[in-house]
Amino acid sequence: MKSKSSKIAALPSLLKLVCRALDDKKADNMQVFDVGEVSSITDYLVVATCTSEPHLRALRVELEKVIDASGARIIGMDATPGSGWLVVDAFDVMVHVLTEQNRKFYALEKLWGDAEAIPLARVLELPGAKKTPAKKAPAKKAVAKKTPAKKSATAKGAGTAKAKVSAAKKTAPKRKVAGK
């Protein structure tokens, strides 16, 4: 019998891809279960919550793309419009995405209570990737400000330019104040 740590270390890449796709598309409250010992239909079960019907449709489209790109096959899918529940069966991995109301009502976590829960952080971890702080961008070099070039008068315009003379400003006469 395998230990818990060896099972977690040997998670299938499809499970990781599916969970990353759901996480990238902002699925809420995602839980992963190893149901291989208690179920004959799949090895891993992923349960997640969507925020709305449009969000549910976006998650379905993303799951289809990721599963197809991985070379795995979707054996079955049920995403009845307006149901608030999406089920994707990719043989080794089965995904349930439900609205908050359906998630509370059906409580799939309780149904699979005998299965081993797998920490989501472990599933989302990239293989061989170490968490390192992001590199800072190099500081920008100071650049001297450019001064506009002085324009010299052309020969044609230099001799014919007339000086404009403006008339002196006159002050306005004072207003008479109404008598008291």
- pLDDT tops 80 at residue 100: yes
User: Which pLDDT does position 4 carry in this prediction?
Assistant: 45
- Which range in 138-142, 160-164, 173-177 is most confidently predicted, on average pLDDT? 173-177
pTM, two decimal places: 0.64
Residues 22, 72: Cα–Cα separation, whole Å: 17
Consecutive H or E run containing 56: helix 53-70
**Among candidates 41, 46, 50, 55, which has minimal Cα distance to 19?**
46
Q: Locate 77 and state its tokens.
A: 């899918």
For strand 85-90 and strand 28-34, is the pairing parallel, antiparallel, or unpaired?
unpaired
For 40-96, how does the pLDDT look when each residue is reduced to its tens digit (9 = 90+)? Answer: 888 899 999 999 999 999 999 999 999 999 999 989 999 888 899 999 999 899 999
What is the CATH architecture assignment of 30-124? Answer: 2-Layer Sandwich (3.30)
144 vs 67, more confident: 67
